[in-house]
């Protein structure tokens, strides 16, 4: 196996007959020209494939109503951009930190506000993930493993799904890979400044997924603590300093939000007390573990029971627990190569024990990095509620691809690899049984390729001219093709609108769904209402107040209209509070309130909520606008005009 000179790459494992050495392996041999000849063309081909899979058909993208509304509002002012305001008037934020939408808002400013412009950043980010994973695995296990890892990640459905979605995980995965790359370079020569850069990348990832970003810290810290060529005290000091940088960058947005007066920034969705701590720690972290007994009631956050139930229909076996990661709903998106990844994880640990390499050997660093990465996120998602959303699995997919590639290269001359490949084929076939009508030819074809690989391997062990004409790696290549066929079919299905909707949540295949349920267009009724509200605005800050983000989204997306969404994402956020609502009316900043008829009936969903109290006050104190004034055919809602009133 040719290995570039000057890089701390591993040599291939010795043949089984070679005696085990108790001394460090000799330096890597000089670079061979053959490695340079095939690495760049193959990597370019993989990158082009990833780009095609992520970019093809983006002109058919659709808006995700919730995120697209925020992006449209974020392009209106620097303050809305920074805080991630949901509405153009800067009233209330998203129910998460806005960092993942910053690239989308910038793309909308450059290319215009179009559905494809909002998806484009994620497509480019996932192509970047493929290239960066190649770099990382190449340094750990050599050129072939790096190329295999890039190919494995490209042909994992969740990778392409993230590249065609508007979710936060595409930039999140890229930032964590950048942190891993910086950690690797820091570990090679104990460079504390480069380790600080890793802390910056994790802090920026925090702006995308909040505390989930810190789940990578055990892997990064352990890699440096174990493998950096420095004294123990220095290694601990470097990691502590990098940890401080990580925390500082991570909480920077929270500090700004906490120190800014409440009236000078949007209200923080997901909270009862407008606290960034409640938003990040309570609503977006502790509530994810409610099924294992974690209580977030005292954090000032909204209990996300509605969110926890959403999406549970997307796949079978989605209950929290270790089995969830093997359920068809998640495994078909990210876990096709679990057996090969297990080979890489366990085989690597056995190799460490057998070879007794020094702790600074790249084999140690890579095994610690990817082993802990995989174990940490696997455990976190097993017991944390991911609400049926497979886009969370992007960080698992990169570890699976890295470990699987290293395992294949390390065991390529052993019979164990053939056995694991057979198990992997059976695992893939078992997953396809859950979806018998989706590309039913793929599993039999994969089995046929597997049998062909066995025949080729058998012929190679015979003597004679026929055996010599079979290329040395033909059996391995055919076996890998068999393993990759089914996930490749699932991944390629993303090119069909039937199996993936660009701009949605990133699920690929027969269980894919459209991008939400809220409308993103203005039909004739909404256009007539908008025209009436615009004509009678009378200097108000808001055209109207509406209950829920679903009612506000079409007006924001289609017309950038300043509509006040009440209740936040869950509909249970106490914004605006009744007193604050009355002040808006009394000061002339709000004249109209749109009230669905259903919300005024006994037993309405809004009954007992802060929004329900506002709607009941509106019906009791404001004047009903005759439907003939704005839409004679409207029978589903009431429009009220509220004039200045006395408080109390």
pLDDT in tens, 77-101: 999 999 999 999 999 999 999 999 9
Residue 126: pLDDT over 80: yes
Residue 557: Cβ within 10 Å count: 24
Q: In this predicted model, which residue has the larger pLDDT, 149 or 350? A: 149
Lowest-pLDDT range, 212-221, 417-426, 621-630, 638-647? 638-647
| Mean per-residue pLDDT over the chain, rounded | 87
Picking from 112-126, 303-317, 490-504, which range would have the lowest pLDDT averaged per residue? Answer: 303-317
Instruction: Work out the percent of the chain whose per-residue pLDDT is above 90.
Output: 70
Confidence of residue 304 (pLDDT cuts 50, 70, 90): low
Q: Which of 66, 62, 167, 641 is nearest to 394 (CA)?
A: 167
- pLDDT of 319: 57
Percent of the chain whose predicted confidence (pLDDT) is above 70: 85
Average pLDDT on 495-504 reads 92
Residue 467 has pLDDT above 60, yes or no: no
Q: Which residue would you say has higher pLDDT here, 172 or 290?
A: 172
pLDDT at 433: 95
pLDDT tier at 244, thresholds 50, 70, 90 = very high
pLDDT of residue 30: 43
The pLDDT of residue 32 is 44
Write down the pLDDT at residue 366: 96
- Please tell me the predicted confidence (pLDDT) of residue 4: 44
Q: Is 462 helix (H, G, I), strand (E, B) or coil?
A: coil
pLDDT attached to residue 300: 76
CA–CA distance, 169 with 391 (Å, rounded to integer): 6
pLDDT higher than 60, residue 239: yes
Q: What is the DSSP letter of 316?
A: S
What is residue 17's predicted lDDT score, i.e. its pLDDT? 46
Name the pLDDT band for 43 (thresholds 50, 70, 90): very high
Calculate ∠ Cα 166-168-171, nearest 5°: 100
For 595-626, write each residue's pLDDT tens digit.
988 877 776 667 678 888 899 899 999 999 99
Write down the pLDDT at residue 7.
43
Using the structure block, give the residue that is written with the tokens 């269980």: 511
pLDDT confidence tier of residue 389, bands split at 50, 70 and 90:
confident
> Which pLDDT score is estimated for 18?
41
- Residue pointed to by tokens 């790249």: 362
Residue 455 is predicted with a pLDDT of 86
Structure-model confidence comparison of residues 625 and 320, the more confident one: 625
* pLDDT surpasses 90 at 576: yes
Task: Taking residues 439-449, report their average pLDDT.
Answer: 95
Q: What confidence category does residue 517 fall into, taking pLDDT thresholds of 50, 70 and 90?
A: low
512-525 burial, b for 16+ CB within 10 Å, e for fewer? beebbebbbebeee
Q: What is the rounded average pLDDT of the residues 538-561?
A: 94
Tell me the pLDDT band of 38, cut-offs 50, 70 and 90.
Answer: confident
Tell me 500's DSSP state.
Answer: -
Task: Inform me whether the pLDDT recorded for 394 exceeds 70.
Answer: yes
Question: Residue 596 pairs with which residues in a beta bridge?
Answer: 637
For 248-263, how does the pLDDT look when each residue is reduced to its tens digit (9 = 90+)? Answer: 999 999 999 999 998 8
Among 30-39, 182-191, 366-375, 603-612, name the one with the lowest average pLDDT.
30-39
| 206's tokens | 């925090």
Ranges 281-290, 346-355, 411-420, 463-472: which has the least confidence: 463-472
Cα angle for residues 366, 414, 34 (degrees, 5° grid): 65
| CA gap 439, 431 in Å, rounded | 13
CA distance 246 to 227: 20
User: What confidence score (pLDDT) does residue 383 get?
Assistant: 81
| pLDDT (0 to 100) of residue 415 | 86
635 or 229: which leads in pLDDT: 229
pLDDT value of residue 368? 97
Segment 38-53 shows an average pLDDT of 96
Tokens encoding 467: 């055996």
CA–CA distance, 389 with 382 (Å, rounded to integer): 13
Check whether 466 has a pLDDT greater than 60: no
């Amino acid at each position: 196996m040719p290995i570039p000179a000057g890089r701390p790459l591993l040599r291939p494992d010795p043949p089984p007959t070679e005696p085990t050495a108790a001394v460090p392996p000799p330096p890597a041999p000089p670079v061979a020209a053959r490695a340079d000849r095939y690495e760049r063309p193959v990597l370019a081909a993989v990158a082009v494939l990833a780009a095609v899979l992520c970019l093809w058909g983006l002109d058919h993208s659709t808006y995700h109503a919730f995120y697209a509304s925020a992006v449209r509002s974020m392009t209106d002012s620097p303050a809305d951009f920074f805080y991630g305001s949901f509405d153009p008037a800067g009233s209330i934020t998203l129910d998460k930190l806005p960092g993942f939408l910053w690239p989308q808002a910038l793309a909308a400013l450059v290319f215009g506000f179009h559905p494809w412009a909002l998806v484009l950043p994620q497509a480019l980010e996932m192509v970047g993930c493929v290239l960066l994973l190649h770099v990382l695995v190449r340094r750990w296990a050599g050129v072939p493993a790096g190329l295999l890892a890039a190919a494995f990640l490209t042909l994992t459905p969740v990778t392409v799904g993230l590249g065609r979605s508007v979710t936060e995980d595409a930039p999140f995965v890229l930032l964590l890979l950048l942190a891993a790359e910086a950690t690797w370079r820091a570990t090679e020569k104990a460079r504390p400044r480069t380790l600080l850069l890793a802390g910056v990348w994790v802090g920026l990832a925090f702006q995308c997924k909040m505390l989930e970003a810190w789940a990578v810290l055990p892997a990064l810290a352990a890699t440096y603590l174990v493998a950096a060529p420095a004294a123990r005290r220095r290694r601990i000091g470097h990691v502590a300093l990098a940890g401080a940088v990580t925390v500082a960058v991570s909480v920077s947005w929270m500090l700004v939000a906490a120190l800014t007066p409440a009236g000078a920034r949007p209200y923080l969705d997901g909270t009862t007390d407008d606290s960034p701590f409640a938003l990040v720690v309570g609503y977006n972290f502790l509530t994810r573990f409610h099924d294992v007994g974690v209580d977030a009631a005292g954090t000032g956050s909204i209990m996300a029971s509605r969110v926890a139930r959403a999406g549970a229909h997307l796949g079978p076996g989605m209950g929290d627990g270790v089995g969830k990661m093997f359920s068809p709903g998640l495994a078909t998106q990210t876990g096709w190569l679990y057996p090969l990844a297990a080979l890489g994880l366990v085989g690597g640990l056995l190799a460490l024990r057998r070879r007794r390499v020094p702790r600074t050997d790249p084999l140690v660093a890579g095994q610690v990095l990817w082993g802990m990465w995989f174990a940490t996120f696997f455990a976190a998602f097993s017991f944390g509620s991911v609400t049926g959303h497979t886009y969370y699995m992007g960080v698992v997919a990169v570890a699976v691809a890295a470990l699987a590639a290293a395992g294949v290269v390390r065991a390529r001359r052993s019979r164990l690899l053939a056995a694991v490949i057979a198990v992997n084929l059976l695992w893939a076939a078992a997953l396809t049984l859950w979806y018998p009508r989706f590309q039913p030819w793929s599993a039999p074809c994969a089995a046929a390729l597997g049998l062909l690989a066995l025949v080729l391997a058998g012929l190679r062990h015979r003597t004679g001219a026929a055996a010599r004409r079979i290329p040395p790696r033909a059996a391995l290549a055919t076996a890998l093709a068999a393993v990759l066929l089914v996930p490749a079919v699932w991944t390629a299905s993303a090119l069909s609108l039937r199996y993936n909707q660009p701009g949605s949540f990133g699920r690929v295949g027969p269980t894919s769904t459209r991008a939400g349920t809220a409308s993103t267009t203005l039909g004739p009724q909404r256009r007539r209402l908008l025209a009436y509200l615009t004509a009678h605005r009378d200097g108000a800050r808001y055209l109207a107040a509406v209950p829920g983000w679903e009612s506000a989204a079409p007006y924001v997306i289609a017309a950038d209209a300043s509509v006040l969404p009440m209740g936040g994402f869950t509909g249970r956020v106490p914004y605006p509070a009744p007193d604050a609502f009355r002040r808006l009316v009394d000061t002339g900043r709000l004249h109209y309130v749109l009230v669905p008829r259903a919300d005024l009936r006994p037993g309405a969903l809004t009954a007992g909520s802060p929004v329900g109290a506002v709607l009941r006050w509106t019906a009791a104190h404001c004047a009903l606008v005759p439907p003939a004034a704005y839409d004679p055919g409207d029978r589903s809602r009431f429009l009220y005009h509220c004039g200045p009133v006395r408080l109390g």
